[in-house]
């Protein structure tokens, strides 16, 4: 499965991506904001993640910047996962690509796909000391639930406060969108 947004190309990871993945995520300021990534992030961790199969209902994508040069530069990751029986949106971006709107654009593309896949509600959270991620979630339509919970961070090695968010996508739809009363998600193009 592939997604093309205005500036980004989202694609599955392949085992041969491990070195580029490692070069982008091996930054403590990135990894400490993730619940499931270890620190230090090693070559074995990158090899494992890059070789993970796709789940048709919970896909994850490497986010790349398409250019005329091949291959396209990997700048982050976005996808759906499961936490406590609910579908969760997660993402990370390499530090040189922060504050450029890429996380917002990639999250919107995955939300659109989530709706097509039949997901009606998603959850997301961010550690309390990462307000930038909360801003991204609000931009794409997530609403804070008012719940702050303890969530374990593998990189930090301890539980820390996570601010929880939800989004109601409404009923499932096709790729063309339509008014169904759910949160509007900007259109995307299939690649």
Q: Where are the beta strands (DSSP E) in the chain?
A: 3-4, 9-11, 60-65, 73-83, 86-93, 121-127, 143-153, 158-168, 189-190
d(CA 2, CA 148): 34
Task: Indicate the helix (H) or strand (E) that contains 105.
Answer: helix 102-116
> 0.85 cut: is pTM over it?
yes
| CA–CA gap between residue 151 and residue 163 (Å, rounded) | 10
Per-residue pLDDT tens over the stretch 99-148: 999 999 999 999 999 999 999 999 999 999 999 999 999 999 999 999 99
Among 91-100, 104-113, 149-158, 175-184, name the one with the lowest average pLDDT.
175-184
Instruction: Compute the mean pLDDT over every residue in the chain, rounded to the nearest whole number.
Output: 91
Q: How does residue 171 score in pLDDT terms, banded at 50, 70 and 90?
A: confident
Contact indicator for 101, 8 with CB cutoff of 8 Å: no
% the chain with pLDDT above 90 = 84
List the domain boundaries for the chain.
3-173
Which CATH class name applies to 3-173?
alpha beta
Tens digits of residue pLDDT in 9-31: 999 999 999 999 999 999 999 99
Per-residue pLDDT band for 174 (boundaries 50, 70, 90) equals low
């Amino acid at each position: 499965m592939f997604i093309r947004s205005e500036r980004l190309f989202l694609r599955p990871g392949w085992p041969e991506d491990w070195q580029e993945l490692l070069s982008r995520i091996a930054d403590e300021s990135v990894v400490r904001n993730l619940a499931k990534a270890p620190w230090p992030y090693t070559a074995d961790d990158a090899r494992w993640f890059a070789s993970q199969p796709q789940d048709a209902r919970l896909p994850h994508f490497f986010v790349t910047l398409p250019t005329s040069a091949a291959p396209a530069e990997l700048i982050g990751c976005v996808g759906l996962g499961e936490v406590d029986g609910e579908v969760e949106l997660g993402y990370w971006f390499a530090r040189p690509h922060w504050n450029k709107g890429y996380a917002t654009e990639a999250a919107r593309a995955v939300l659109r796909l989530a709706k097509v896949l039949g997901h009606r509600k998603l959850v997301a959270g961010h550690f309390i000391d990462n307000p930038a991620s909360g801003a991204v979630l609000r931009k794409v339509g997530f609403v804070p639930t008012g719940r702050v919970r303890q969530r374990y961070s593998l990189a930090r090695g301890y539980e820390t406060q996570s601010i929880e968010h939800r989004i109601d996508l409404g009923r499932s739809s096709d790729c063309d969108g339509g008014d169904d009363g759910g949160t509007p998600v900007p259109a995307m193009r299939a690649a």
